[in-house]
Structure 1
Amino acid sequence: MDLIQQLNLGTTAELMITVLVVFCITQAFKTTRLGNHYLPWIAMGAGILVGLVATATTGDTNYLSSAVMGLLVGGFTAGLFDGFKGFGGIK
């Protein structure tokens, strides 16, 4: 998460909101019948949406940076490698 702050993609408040919500969404999807190989992609999509909402909530106007921050948080939360492993059929 230090990478996100070093790149100045979002404030600490936006980062914490995004991490918490994306983690909860990811954990909720783990309990469904949906295959786990879709989980990283769902987490990254949710990260983008949550990042945008967090930016609007905190009154910031840098939406592109927040979308990138959400994408990275979603990837970190679900395990980015698992997404490529599931997409490519690698076992």
Structure 2
Amino acid sequence: MDLIQELNLGSTAELMITVLVVFCITQAFKTTSLGNHYLPWIAMFVGVIAGIVAVAATGDSNYVASGVMGLLVGGFTCGLFDGFKGFKQIGGTK
């Protein structure tokens, strides 16, 4: 998460809100019958939305940077590698 703060993509409050929302929603999706290979993509989508909401909640105006922050948080939360691994398995190669 130091990368996000070094790139100045969001404040600590925005980062914590985004991490909490992404983690909770991703854990909720794990209990559904949806395949786990979709979780990283769902987490990144939720991260973008949560990043934008976090900016609105803190009164900031840097929506694009917070969207990127949310994308990175979603990728970090689920493991970006898992998304590519799942996409590769859907294509038929293992």
The answer for unaligned runs of 5 or more in structure 2 is: none
Structure 2 Cα separation of the partners of residues 3 and 34 of structure 1 = 31
Aligned 1:27-46 pairs, distance under 5 A = 27-46=27-46
Superimposed CA distance per residue, residues 43-89 of structure 1 (whole angstroms, 9 cap, x where no aligned partner): 00000000000000100000000000000000000110000000111
Structure 2 Cα separation of the partners of residues 76 and 28 of structure 1 = 17
Structure 1 Cα separation of the partners of residues 85 and 44 of structure 2 = 15
The runs of at least 4 aligned residues of structure 1 exceeding 4 Å deviation read none
Superimposed CA distance per residue, residues 10-66 of structure 1 (whole angstroms, 9 cap, x where no aligned partner): 000000000011000010000000000000000000000000000001000000000
The answer for unaligned runs of 5 or more in structure 1 is: none
Structure 1 Cα separation of the partners of residues 28 and 78 of structure 2 = 12
Structure 1 Cα separation of the partners of residues 68 and 17 of structure 2 = 15
Structure 1 Cα separation of the partners of residues 25 and 75 of structure 2 = 13
> For the pair shown, which has the larger CA radius of gyration, 1 or 2?
2
User: TM-score, normalised to structure 2's length?
Assistant: 0.95
